[in-house]
Amino acid sequence: MRLDKYLKVSRLIKRRTVAKQACDSGIISINGKVAKSSTQVQKDDIIQIDFKTKPIRVRVLEIKEHALKDDAKQMYEIIE
């Protein structure tokens, strides 16, 4: 699954266009490498998002095409 779609489905970022812009600006990395919006996300990848106020690191636990609000939180595990 594409990174921008994963961020939207997992509700780490609210909208896919915002996720794409975040990827293009270079604030999102997967396994320590800056990632583009088209980068494929795999299970057990570490995604780091460097928000201005609070950076966040998550481990991908599950990949789903669609997820309800309650199921979205089970798609990742917050590391930091």
Q: How confident is the model at residue 69 (pLDDT cuts 50, 70, 90)?
A: confident
DSSP class of residue 11 equals: T
Res 71: pLDDT: 86
User: SS3 breakdown of the chain: % helix, strand, coil, rounded to 5?
Assistant: 30, 25, 45
> pLDDT digits over 14-37, tens only?
999 999 999 999 999 999 999 999
> Which tokens go with 65?
């095409």
Quick one: average pLDDT of 53-80? 90
CATH for the 3-78 domain, from 3.40.50.880, 3.10.20.340, 1.10.3720.10, 3.10.290.10: 3.10.290.10
pLDDT at residue 79 greater than cutoff 80: yes
Amino acid sitting at position 12: L
Domain boundaries, the chain: 3-78
